[in-house]
Amino acid sequence: MQIHSLTETIINMKIEEIITTATATAVKVLYNQDIPQEQLQIQKTKKEFEGHLTLVVFPLLRISRKKPEETAQEIGEWLAANCEAVEKFNVVKGFLNLTISPDSWIYLLNDIHADTRFGLTPPTEQSPLVMIEYSSPNTNKPLHLGHVRNNLLGYSLSRIMQANGYKVVKTNIVNDRGIHICKSMLAWQKWGNGATPESTGKKGDHLIGDFYVAFDKHYKAEVKALEEKGMTKEEAEAASPLMQEAREMLRRWEAGDEEVRSLWRTMNSWVYAGFDETYKRLGVDFDKIYYESQTYLEGKEKVLEGLEKGIMYRKEDNSVWADLTADGLDHKLLLRSDGTSVYMTQDIGTAKLRYQDYPIDKMIYVVGNEQNYHFQVLSLLLDKLGFKWGKDLVHFSYGMVELPEGKMKSREGTVVDADDLMDAMVQNAKEMSAEMGKLQDLPQEEADKISAIIGLGALKYFILKVDPRKNMTFNPKESIDFNGNTGPFIQYTYARIRSVLRKAQETGIDIPGTLPAGTALNTKEEEIVQHIADFPAIVRQAGTDYSPSAIANYCYDLVKEYNQFYHDFSILREEDKQKQLFRLVLSENVAKVIRLGMGLLGIEMPERM
């Protein structure tokens, strides 16, 4: 009883699925019992054993009522006789190792070859809508290395979720109000002498960041002077005239004072222009930007609504709180005694506006792990306030990023600026390429463009290959290496494959749309087809686990496998025409999957290097 023909079935099914279906049928025929396919354990065969896929037999012993070896032997014999995909088998204790027939790999490669978007599932009108918030900058300073990790994770996650069939809205919440903004504004008034981005030649976000640093410098000097007069540090900080002026400016802003608001609008416009340049260069974008200045009042309104419903309570000093002790948390402040809002209130307001704007099915916040508690609280409050996705919101919590020299502090001006970092990465790529003689034959304009692709690819890959939950150290020199687990190593392999394909075209070799059966494959070729075929499962895993690193490390492993093959076997010099065409199709599809995978990370692939 042959259960399927390869030529009909392999086109629509992965080999693992064929084996799973056949095994379920074998169990039914041999032991007269149905078994759900999801209960069958089929995995890749370990390298030390012969075979491609292994069936773990132990869970089937209660059905067969026989020894592990006997059960594996019986199922193996049935599969070899009835499933064309199985060429032969061997039994190691309770493990049935299956060797897949060469034609199966050719049919599978044909299937992959025909699909230009292999592994990616496009969303439909019926797809659930996922909103992903990332970036969340403050308008008192430029984007820094920490923001780079945030933006790259958020943007990559948006592409991965789309590749898993979700509709995605990429959103940003800009923290454009509060005491920190007033500090920069006040410093500009006092020491700016009318400076503008045009008059100074500085990007607007950098200019405003300089004044934030200047405020902190003068404030610390004031505090130190007051301490020297006998005050404690706390007393000195409270008595600082500069800080009192900043608080007064915030009060005037909240009261709608036009003079303060006008300066605020002007300085923020400088910052936004600077942000836009950085985002564009980093290769990230947004479908919708929200501003906390527009959401905090919505949040206050929602909190007061919760107060009326008894979800929140008011203290004697007029402040409003939520009691979350029944949920294992504590009491959370939502409105201060003077009626001003806190971050939590603003997040509630932003959630309200988003829910009005979009039919959100899932909300993902890409925010560092120092905010874990904040999102526990936010999830509970949104749920209590009636947002259907509140309880299920996802805090994509990621670790901090540091340099080999240690932590960064924006108030002290010791942060690694995102723009400076990108400049340095591109320069490093130019120097490394020149050292290795890689781009010397190209026109300068093309060489510069490729250096930018390599430099930014190195930055993105080095950050995204790390498990997002872990803290990490970003080492610029390591990241630009053309060997090892780096972006340039993967980009170089891609460019090498593209070069081989161009040479094939130049010599008149036509790469076929479909390969014929009957080509004898070596073990490495079979392994590479199997590795390519794993790509859809890796994309699904990355979407389920919210893990760009799964894609990054898959691409690296695939490139390593291919480079071994490239080193050991000829492609263009292969005399057997059928083998040559197989290797060209194999190479083309390795390049395709690398491009698609790295594309999910927001990394561009150069056609030549």
pLDDT of 2: 43
Could you tell me if 394 and 546 are in contact, meaning their C-beta atoms sit under 8 angstroms apart? yes
Beta strands, E only, 436-481: 472-473
The answer, yes or no, to whether residue 74 has pLDDT greater than 90, is yes
Q: How confident is the model at residue 388 (pLDDT cuts 50, 70, 90)?
A: confident
pTM over 0.75: yes
Summarised one tens digit per residue, pLDDT across range 238-279 is 999 999 999 999 999 989 999 999 999 999 999 999 999 999
Which helix (H) or strand (E) element contains residue 396? strand 394-398
State yes or no: pLDDT of 111 exceeds 50: yes
Return the pLDDT at 415: 64
SS3 string of 118-181?
CCCECCCCCCCEEEEECCCCECCCCCEHHHHHHHHHHHHHHHHHHHECCEEEEEEEEECCCHHH
What's the whole-number mean pLDDT along residues 135-146?
A: 93
* Contact in structure between 445 and 525 (CB atoms under 8 Å): no
Q: What is the pLDDT, as a whole number, of residue 6?
A: 42
> Do 601 and 538 touch, CB atoms closer than 8 A?
no
Q: For residue range 512-539, list pLDDT tens digits in order.
A: 999 999 999 999 999 999 999 999 999 9
Distance of CA 113 to the CA centre of its chain: 26
Q: Does 329 have pLDDT greater than 50?
A: yes
362-374 tens-digit pLDDT: 999 999 999 999 9
The region of weakest confidence among 57-61, 119-123, 150-154, 432-436 is: 432-436
CA atoms within 13 A on the CB side of 591: 22
Mean pLDDT of 551-559: 98
Q: How confident is the model over 598-605, as a mean pLDDT?
A: 98
**pLDDT for residue 467:** 96
pLDDT for 47 equals 87
Percent of the chain past pLDDT 70, that is, above it, reads 96
E strand or H helix at 434: helix 418-436
